[in-house]
Structure 1
Amino acid sequence: MFDLPVKTKKETTEANRFRNLLLDMGFSRSQFSVYVQYLPLASRAHVLVKQIKSNLPEGGDIRIVSISDYEWSNAIRFTNKKDAPPDEQPTQLLIF
């Protein structure tokens, strides 16, 4: 999960570059500033965190949370005020 400054054209360009980098790294967009990736091997998380940290735009704020497949599968989700079907149950998920 992240917040990036987008008050200037340069900041907006950097924010878009960062979002595209996350997609290139295998993340999927869950919400505008929330990206997720299934990681069956938690050891890969260290490499991703290092790469994310080194590419964070100036003034950006990041929070990385790992949750289990059980926690992810029990998340309650609504779409247009209606219950949304649960996602497939992964072994481990990294939310960013």
Structure 2
Amino acid sequence: MEISNDKLNTRLNAYRIMWVLVFFDLPMETKKERRNYALFRKNILKDGFSMFQFSIYLRHCTSRESADTHVRRVKLMLPPKGHVGILVVTDKQFGQMEIFSGLSCVKPPETVQQLELF
């Protein structure tokens, strides 16, 4: 059985393309904590992350190296207090996620077509 180059490239890309997910639960009791929350959220948005759910942000990366770069950037943005989780998954794994809105199943976000300049 012969596999065409298009099918092979698609299959390989699904394992090469990465998604970075950032989960956070930050305190917001004082004015300083609210400022830290807003600054952290603003900085991850500036780095190309999009809100997936409240306190869950994600970013599409074209390679593991790109994902590692954005993980390092998030680590540099960490606020002094609170809990932050960072998860990196392949596009293949991300595509297997089941998402529901109420009782209805919905499609995961489409792969973002973006230009990265270094």
Same fold (TM over 0.5): yes
Counterparts of 1:53-72 in structure 2, within 5 Å, are: 53-72=75-94
3-state secondary structure, aligned to 2:94: helix
Corresponding residue pairs, total: 90
1:50 paired residue number: 72
TM-score normalised according to structure 2 size? 0.68
Deviation at residue 63 of structure 1 after TM alignment: 1.3
**Cα RMSD, aligned residues only:** 1.7
Rounded to whole Å, the distance in 1 between the matches of 2:111 and 2:65 is 20
TM-score by length of 1: 0.81
Inter-partner Cα distance in structure 2 for 1:21 and 1:72: 24
Counterpart-to-counterpart distance in 2, 1:86 and 1:47: 24
Structure 1 consecutive aligned stretches of length 4 or more whose deviation exceeds 3 Å: none
Tell which structure's C-alpha radius of gyration is larger: 2
C-alpha contact (below 8 Å) 2:67/2:88 kept by paired residues: no
Name whichever structure is richer in helix by fraction.
Answer: 2
User: Share of identical aligned residues, percent?
Assistant: 32
Cα distance in 2 between the residues matched to 1:46 and 1:70: 18
CA contact (8 A) 1:77 1:84 kept: yes
